Structure 1
């Protein structure tokens, strides 16, 4: 049987770590060529956010692991805040993997800071990564999908898009904005065979989550360990567990199949019953 995404090419931002990497494996596993990019750094420019930036060595490790799936693979640095970086990445990705039929906007960051005293620098970095980055990538790839009459755009959102959370104003604002963008792109692409859906999980067990929770532990004065805090989050979920990246990836893979062509403009939550 021919894998359902044979001949299709996917671009995945934030694809070297976390949910993005899990999605890359899921898409490669059903035949897609995959181009993955993340902001590669040796912890430079952190500016207080919680992003788990991969280091340069991870590029080759991810490339090797994805190539074992059998398709074409491109992996490189990508800064979704920078137009020149996007242009260079997409040019190289198309050369290696072909024109993008699928875009997964999974690049993201967050930080625990209240509105009072929130720095402009950190606010803008979170918005520019989570929302503006998705806009820039979509703006670059949507026209080609429309011209070819087929496309899938998946935005990795959060329950934060619809539920406020103390000390997370920039993150909540960025994910709310991403939901609005999703709906507009879905309407623009609908007559041309292009769908756009947002997947909004609650807490997902990734390095980004652990860094975010660790920020909370630090702010509280280390009255509990990181592992204790993680266990408390799991206990608060009605299923008494933390959602795994592979669960998000499985849904993303289905949404890219031909059978999902009628699913667009939706905000699909993976929560285990949790509100946040």
Structure 2
């Protein structure tokens, strides 16, 4: 722990699992105050909190509380402007205004263009792209006012390389790259950077679920483990990228060493194209 981010406040969307949780942990280790938002966290009905404590929530609390800093967990659906406004109000009350925003919330569902429903298309775009736009729109003015900020969008190699049966996901990540570049230009005069980190397959529960969906659709007898082994062999480094690698890069970009890195799409691939 170097406390390079001591006094800074970070919002991480989709921060309960996988890359989001790893990034939250890396930033907490550097002394940042952490606000984790997720749809899986406590919802509200008639002003009362409804606890939905899953094993993921318990694990996240344990991992982040170990650094002794301020941590806030709140319900956040990036598709809903009202919950965004409520989450940001509550996060600011605990952690202060956001200096760092990590747009990690995302989803995918593999479907071919032919037969892809409007509802699924819009849900993926709304989560992966419009959700990041809404969060940025909410946090960027304060960063500009304070003349310091870091916005990190978690993208994918899908932003640059097409993939069969992934039209909505590829479109959303391509759009996220365009958003990243526009935000970087808007923030540049105010010491606000915006960068997209685009990994290839990252070994997470989400990846496993995606692979499970893939093999079920194939219907040719491959197991999930067989498919993951095939994906691993396709990587020139013969391995899967790990969440802590994404987190380490994010932590660097949030520090002073990353202040000149903006408008970039940094691919973390081990040499793989996808």
Provide TM-score, normalisation by structure 2: 0.94
Matched residue SS, 1:81: coil
C-alpha displacement of 1:38: 1.4
C-alpha displacement of 1:60: 4.3
Matched residue SS, 1:172: helix
Q: Which residue of structure 1 lines up, in the alignment, with residue 48 of structure 2? A: none
Q: Which residue of structure 2 lines up, in the alignment, with residue 197 of structure 1? A: 195
Determine which of 126, 129, 132 is the counterpart of 2:127.
Answer: 129
Q: Which residue of structure 2 lines up, in the alignment, with residue 213 of structure 1? A: 211
1:98-109 equivalence runs, <5 A: 98-109=96-107
C-alpha displacement of 1:105: 0.2
C-alpha displacement of 1:111: 0.8
Q: Which residue of structure 1 lines up, in the alignment, with residue 62 of structure 2? A: 64
CA contact (8 A) 1:63 1:74 kept: no
Q: Which residue of structure 2 lines up, in the alignment, with residue 35 of structure 1? A: 35
CA contact (8 A) 1:113 1:169 kept: yes
CA contact (8 A) 2:101 2:152 kept: yes
Determine which of 234, 248, 251 is the counterpart of 1:250.
Answer: 248
In 2, the alpha carbon distance for the partners of 1:61 and 1:76 equals 15
In 1, the alpha carbon distance for the partners of 2:101 and 2:212 equals 31
How big is each residue's C-alpha offset from its partner over 1:101-142, in whole Å with a ceiling of 9 and x where there is no partner?
Answer: 000000000011000010111101100000000000000000
C-alpha displacement of 1:64: 3.3
The question of 1:25 aligning with 2:25 is answered yes
The question of 1:12 aligning with 2:8 is answered no
Matched residue SS, 2:151: strand
C-alpha displacement of 1:58: 3.3
Q: Which residue of structure 2 lines up, in the alignment, with residue 224 of structure 1? A: 222
| Ranges in structure 1 where 5+ consecutive residues have no aligned partner | 43-53
In 1, the alpha carbon distance for the partners of 2:13 and 2:110 equals 23
In 1, the alpha carbon distance for the partners of 2:55 and 2:109 equals 25
C-alpha displacement of 1:55: 5.7
Distance 1:260 1:41, change over 3 A: closer
| CA RMSD between the two structures | 1.5
CA contact (8 A) 1:102 1:153 kept: yes
C-alpha displacement of 1:63: 2.4
In 2, the alpha carbon distance for the partners of 1:100 and 1:180 equals 23
